[in-house]
């Protein structure tokens, strides 16, 4: 009959063996750096169907892969928005609540949008889209990125209205945040805060179309006036020539006197 102390002795031997193995691994790792990383490398398992598959020893590889996938998706999203935009600029959002940013997003013009993204991803996207390679200097701090389409003035005015609201709130409560522009890019050129704000004076797309339509409408009227004047002048000339038939001594120069020669 086994002794009652046998199970306890067996457990103790297991613990001693485990500690010994751990100490041995640490000793070997000290003498040969990189052993731990080698042991953490993926292994290959063979399944019942005969196919082999690499199995990661470290479960952190799965989240890392998902993280890389999300970054690639974000870069693709940013590139798509840049390709549709005339102006892209960054706004510091430090201190603002999520509901404040969401409220601002709902007030944006139809062809403007805003997205919070990592500076490194925005810079990478800019490097891959023609005209936005110079976005790098604006990639500082925590930014909410504005993507403005053809109606540039409308997008800038939307920002200025938000900034004005924040300044009024800041007067009542000094702790209330006020946004700051970190810079942007338009037509391949980097713009600082002052340059971006000055774009509010640009005509909107509707204003440009209205001016072009007005110019086109004015052309037929001016042309008609010019054409109308031609027969009148011709009729006067013919009439004078007819009057000259009664006096054969007159010559064309008498009917249509030339301009006096300069002295």
DSSP string, 54-66: EE-S-TTHHHHHH
Q: Could you say which DSSP state residue 128 is in?
A: T
pLDDT by residue (tens digit) across 182-210? Answer: 999 999 999 999 999 999 999 876 666 77
The span from the CA of 136 to the CA of 104, in Å, is: 25
- Using the predicted structure, report yes or no on whether residue 37 has a pLDDT greater than 60: no
Measured in residues, the chain has a length of: 263
Paired strand residues for 181: 91
pTM, to two decimals: 0.58
Query: Residue 61 phi/psi, 5° resolution?
Result: -65, -35
pLDDT per residue over 141-150, tens digit each? 999 999 999 9
d(CA 214, CA 219): 9
Q: Strands 87-92 and 181-186: what pairing?
A: antiparallel
- CA neighbours closer than 13 Å in the CB half-sphere of residue 48: 0
Q: Kindly state the DSSP code that residue 43 receives in the 8-state scheme.
A: E
DSSP state of 50: S
Kindly report, residue by residue over 49-97, the tens digit of the pLDDT.
444 444 444 445 556 766 889 999 999 999 999 999 999 999 999 999 9
Tokens of 94: 């430090």
Structure token digits, residue 146: 């504005």
């Amino acid at each position: 009959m086994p002794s009652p102390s046998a199970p306890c002795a067996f457990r103790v031997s297991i613990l001693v063996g485990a500690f010994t193995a751990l100490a041995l691994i640490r000793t070997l790792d000290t003498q040969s750096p990189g052993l731990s990383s080698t042991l953490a490398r993926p292994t290959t398992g063979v399944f019942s169907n005969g196919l082999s598959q690499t199995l990661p020893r470290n479960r952190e590889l799965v989240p890392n892969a998902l993280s890389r996938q999300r970054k690639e998706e974000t870069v693709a999203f940013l590139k798509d928005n840049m390709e549709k935009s005339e102006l892209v600029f960054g706004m510091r959002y430090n201190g603002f609540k999520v509901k404040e940013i969401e409220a601002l997003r709902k007030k944006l013009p139809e062809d403007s949008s805003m997205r919070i993204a990592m500076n490194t991803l925005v810079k990478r996207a800019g490097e891959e889209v023609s005209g936005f390679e110079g976005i790098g200097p604006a990639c500082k701090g925590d930014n909410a990125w504005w993507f403005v389409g053809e109606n540039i003035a409308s997008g800038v005015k939307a920002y200025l209205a938000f900034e004005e609201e924040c300044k009024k709130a800041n007067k009542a409560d000094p702790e209330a945040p006020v946004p700051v522009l970190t810079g942007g890019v338009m037509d391949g050129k980097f713009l600082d805060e002052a340059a971006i704000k000055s774009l509010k004076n640009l005509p909107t797309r509707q204003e440009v179309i209205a001016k072009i339509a007005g110019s086109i409408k004015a052309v037929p009227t001016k042309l008609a006036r010019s054409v109308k004047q031609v027969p009148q002048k011709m009729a006067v000339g013919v009439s004078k020539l007819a009057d000259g038939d009664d006096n054969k001594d007159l010559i064309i120069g008498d009917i249509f006197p030339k301009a006096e020669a300069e002295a």
